[in-house]
Amino acid sequence: MPIRTVYGANVEHLQIMDEHGVVDQELAKNPDGTPVLKDEETLELFIYMGKCRALDETAFKLQRSGRMGTYPQNKGQEAAAIGSAYALERGSDWLVPCYRENAALWMHGLPMHYVLLHWMGDERGNQIPPGVCQTPLCIPIGTQPLHAVGISWAFKMRGEKKLAITYFGDGATSEGDVHEALNFAAVFQTPTIFFCQNNQWAISVPRESQMNNETVAQRAIGYDIPCMQVDGNDLIAVYKVTRDAAKRAKSGGGPTFIEAVTYRLADHTTADDARRYRDPKEVEAWVGKDPIIRLRKYLTAKGLWNDEKQRQLDEEAKVMVADVIKAAETIAKPSTDDIFDHVFATLTPELELQKKTMRTHSLGQFPEQAGLAR
């Protein structure tokens, strides 16, 4: 019998705006000829991106001055977070993040100072407000895609036109949990978007040293999940592929895997020194692909941005950052009741006693025992 091919696949890459701010006019249009992003939308997102960068850089200084424990900067990855989040429905679709998607979380309603509280060690930063459809920051690598699949599976079982998007890095795709999530999503065709921020480094391990793949996206092929690679520093392209994936998910088309090729311009966290393992020339090359710089070039060329508007943005961002930091640093001290009140809906008698006495041992709970005769 002749040998025959039973399966074939390829991974497409989308870039609409290059690092010089030049846009492919055809790719920037929808099938009906309308723009993928209108000028006013692009301008709004650029301003938002600038403010998020300003807060990110100030958060770094907070840690360096001893006012925060540690902090992973989002610098250089804003277009991936913002472009994808803008394509989703706020208050309906769920965001299941890692820890480098601050801009997306804020866009979908998380108060900005909550992220600072988290890194200051205040658990109230993880207490997501009612109506904000997202889970807290996830520090363990690769565990959150399982949660996203569970959430989206519930949507499907209920017949709700909603989805869950989960964010993770290239390193997380080497974790078993991610593959279990991909398999389950594929088998049950859940409305899940797997959004991989391939920032080239899993802390100090380069992508090519942790996988033999040409792309991260092709990992999804083995699960028969549609996949796409996109320039993660291209706001328009990221928005387009995420919007298309969202439409597919809500129409019953199942999950999608998106690989956003981007770069972590800062250290992994403030506890890291990337100079020890990264070539300065590599970093310099990626600085030239900065999503904010390229978007500013695009808007300037269209007459939508100039130095005066940039000055105004810088001033607005300075005021906003000061307000956010004040909210985080002047919050009232938590009550000891919080240890108990946010774990169980109804406390057990044992926990009620612990809450009342703030003791776990019997002598502390019943001090009158000290005077009993043996």
Q: What CATH number corresponds to the domain at position 102?
A: 3.40.50.970
Is residue 321 domain-shared with residue 353, that is, in the same domain?
A: no
pLDDT value at 6 more than 60: yes
268-300, pLDDT tens digit by residue?
998 889 999 999 999 999 999 999 999 999 999
Is residue 109 domain-shared with residue 228, that is, in the same domain?
A: yes
pLDDT value at 258 more than 90: yes
The catalytically annotated residue of 277, 311, 342, 359 is: 277
Coil, helix or strand at residue 23: strand
Q: What is the pLDDT of residue 166?
A: 98
Helix (H) or strand (E) holding 229: strand 227-231
Is residue 348 domain-shared with residue 310, that is, in the same domain?
A: no
Task: Please state the rounded mean pLDDT for residues 126-153.
Answer: 97
Which stretch of 37-46, 102-111, 247-256, 266-275 has the lowest confidence by average pLDDT? 266-275
Q: What is the pLDDT of residue 372?
A: 58
Taking phi over 0 as left and psi of -120 to 50 as alpha, with beta for the rest, 200 belongs to left
Coil, helix or strand at residue 134: strand
Residue 211 in tokens: 């996988």
Is residue 296 domain-shared with residue 357, that is, in the same domain?
A: no
Q: How many CB atoms lie within 10 A of CB 38?
A: 10
Task: Please state the rounded mean pLDDT for residues 18-23.
Answer: 97
CA distance 109 to 112: 9
pLDDT value at 371 more than 80: no
Residue 359 falls in the annotated catalytic set:
no
CA distance 82 to 53: 12
What are the angstrom distances between the C-alpha of 96 and each of 195, 200, 284, 297?
10, 21, 31, 32
Task: Please state the rounded mean pLDDT for residues 33-47.
Answer: 98
- Domain membership of residue 159 (yes or no) is yes
pLDDT value at 80 more than 90: yes
Is residue 216 domain-shared with residue 250, that is, in the same domain?
A: yes
Coil, helix or strand at residue 67: coil
The catalytically annotated residue of 53, 264, 294, 296 is: 264
- Domain membership of residue 110 (yes or no) is yes
Is residue 217 domain-shared with residue 362, that is, in the same domain?
A: no
pLDDT value at 373 more than 80: no
Is residue 276 domain-shared with residue 364, that is, in the same domain?
A: no
- Domain membership of residue 1 (yes or no) is no
DSSP code string of 248-268? HHHTT---EEEEEE----S-S
CA angle 206/297/283 to nearest 5° reads: 20
Task: Please state the rounded mean pLDDT for residues 247-272.
Answer: 95
Is residue 224 domain-shared with residue 343, that is, in the same domain?
A: no
pLDDT value at 96 more than 80: yes
Reported as half-sphere exposure (CB side, CA atoms, 13 A), residue 254 has a value of 15
- Domain membership of residue 111 (yes or no) is yes
Taking phi over 0 as left and psi of -120 to 50 as alpha, with beta for the rest, 316 belongs to alpha
Residue 113 falls in the annotated catalytic set:
no
The catalytically annotated residue of 268, 294, 296, 298 is: 268
Residue 277 falls in the annotated catalytic set:
yes
- Domain membership of residue 8 (yes or no) is no
Which stretch of 53-67, 92-106, 318-332, 356-370 has the lowest confidence by average pLDDT? 356-370
Which residue, 6, 8, 27, is CA-closest to 16?
27
Is residue 227 domain-shared with residue 357, that is, in the same domain?
A: no
Total number of domains constituting the chain: 2
Is residue 351 domain-shared with residue 230, that is, in the same domain?
A: no
CA distance 128 to 35: 35
Structural contact between residues 68 and 280, judged by C-beta atoms closer than 8 angstroms: no
Domain that holds residue 45: 13-329
195-243, pLDDT tens digit by residue?
999 999 999 999 989 899 999 999 999 999 999 999 999 999 999 999 9
Q: What is the pLDDT of residue 365?
A: 83
DSSP code string of 100-119? S-HHHHHHTT--HHHHHHHH
Is residue 251 domain-shared with residue 139, that is, in the same domain?
A: yes
CA distance 234 to 230: 8
Is residue 200 domain-shared with residue 344, that is, in the same domain?
A: no
